[in-house]
Amino acid sequence: MEGLAAWFAAHLGKYISAKAVVFIVSLMPILECRGGLIVASLLDVNIVEAIPICVIGNFIPIPFILLFIKKIFEWLKLYGPTEKLVTKLENRAAKKSDALEKGEFLGLMLFVGIPLPGTGGWTGSLIAALLDVDFKKALVAEILGILIATVIMSIVSYGLLAQIV
């Protein structure tokens, strides 16, 4: 992820403002606020400005995923080339859903909040939608998870731990 974030910082940063790059990266699956904070650090965006940009960017797609992904998947399955991709995404989400089924709210919040490969708001929203988690419950769990991830990644990206110790 760091390499991808660095690529965006180096390439997009030439053409648009650093804050816009941070926002765009935070919107993207896989990178989300984790990548946004790395990009913000690389582009010398002040942490106080970077955090709300990353959180907002990461959160914007979540309600849409929760509300519409099942319908979008149904539609995409009607077309040959996209059916395999949708099936792959559903299978991936199903494999990761075991952790969420028992403690839905806490599981979803931690799944989104702990910055590991394959976790985050996009995947968490997909899993929540496929498991038919209550919309409001999923939304709150996701925003809390994003805030947890933001705290962790702020410490890592900006070296705050070294400054505290």
DSSP string, 10-37: HHHTTTS-HHHHHHHHHHSTTTHHHHHH
Which tokens sit at 111?
A: 């799944």
Cα-to-chain-centroid distance, residue 94: 18
Which residue numbers in the chain have pLDDT < 70?
96-102, 160-165
In the chain, the amino acid numbered 30 is: I
What lies within 8 Å, CB to CB, of 129 at 6+ separation is 65, 66, 67, 69, 70, 138
Q: Kindly report the pTM of this predicted structure.
A: 0.83
pLDDT at 104: 86
What lies within 8 Å, CB to CB, of 13 at 6+ separation is 21, 43
Instruction: Let me know if 161 is exposed, middle or buried by CB neighbors in 10 A (0-12, 13-18, 19+).
Output: exposed
pLDDT at 44: 92
pLDDT at 60: 97
Distances (CA, A) of 132 to 31, 140, 149: 25, 15, 24
Which tokens sit at 136?
A: 């409001």
Residue with tokens 């931690």: 110
Q: Which residues of 51-72 are buried (b: 16+ CB within 10 A; e: fewer)?
A: bebbbebbbebbeebbeebeee
pLDDT at 165: 44
d(CA 145, CA 114): 8
pLDDT at 157: 83
